[in-house]
Structure formats: C-alpha cells, structure tokens
Structure 1
Amino acid sequence: MSDLTNNLSQMPGGPKKARQTSGEYRFYLSMIFLTAVPFCAVIWTYQLFKHAKMPAQGPIQSALSEARTIAPCIFWA
C-alpha cells in the first residue's frame, strides 16, 4: 500500500476548502445558547458568591462556549 500522506497533490479533490456554516448549524447553536444562558448565569452567580471574586468567564461567554461545544456533536453523531 502506498503512503499518500506526504504527497497531497495526488489525493483526489486536492486540499479541503474552508466550510461555510449552514443555517441549520446556526439555528441549533442559537437554540443551545439561549437554553444555556440561564444555567450559566446561575452557576456564575454561585461562583461569584462562593469564591468572592469574579469568575474568569462571564455568563454569556460561558454559554457561548457551551453552545460551541455541544452544537457540532449534533452534526457528527
């Protein structure tokens, strides 16, 4: 069997193109984000009072991070 990992020009289709985000992906990302915001706000508030200092991420950034983690799992499954 030949090793094609070092010579990508022989691979059919050439190099991969950058993917465009689909409308369906954005829809799921936004739905997951809107669902995660209240939970992340409660967790952020709890951490704020428990440790008496500001957490590294705010509730919006935390919810966006969660949505970006979960949304691709829907399409890869």
Structure 2
Amino acid sequence: MSDYSTNRGLHHVERVNKTEFFVYFALIFALAILPHVVVWLYQLIRHARLPRLDPISRALKDAEAVTPMIFRG
C-alpha cells in the first residue's frame, strides 16, 4: 500500500511562455549594453589594453543571469 500523504507539500511548476521570457531577455540586454560600453571604454583608456570581455558578451551574461531571476519568484 502506498502512502500519498508524504508528497503533499510539492506543487507543479508552471512553464513560462517563451515569448515573454525572450521579451524580458531582450529588454535587459538592450538596457545593459550602454553601461557596459561606457565601462569597456573607460577600462580601455585607463589600462591601455583591451578588456577580456567585450561589451556585448558582458551584456549577454547579465541578461542570462537576471532574466531567470524574474521568473523564479
């Protein structure tokens, strides 16, 4: 005989619409590009060498990190 009362606290996780995720990802990416370009140029001038990551890579990393946090809560 199975005891089904032990899994009572679990709930089904709803899937997020991919379109909504992409819209948030695109907005965060677009808003992150400008600050990263400014910081990249500042580091380029200050250190007289290219930074390890370009501004687009940094903005993508930020968007990839922040967007899932929006849908977790």
Q: TM-score, normalised by structure 2?
A: 0.74
Q: Cα RMSD (Å) of the superposition?
A: 1.8
Would you tell me which structure has more helix in proportion to its own residues? 2
Q: Can you give the 5+ residue segments of structure 2 that lack an aligned partner in the other structure?
A: 1-14
Q: What stretches of structure 1 of length at least 5 have no aligned partner?
A: 1-18
Instruction: Give the ranges of 4+ consecutive aligned residues of structure 1 lying more than 6 Å apart after TM superposition.
Output: none
Structure with bigger RCO (C-alpha 8 Å, 6+ apart): 2
Aligned residues: 59
Q: Tell me the CA shift for residue 61 of structure 1.
A: 0.9
Q: Does 1:40 align with 2:6?
A: no
Percent of residue pairs bearing the same amino acid type: 37
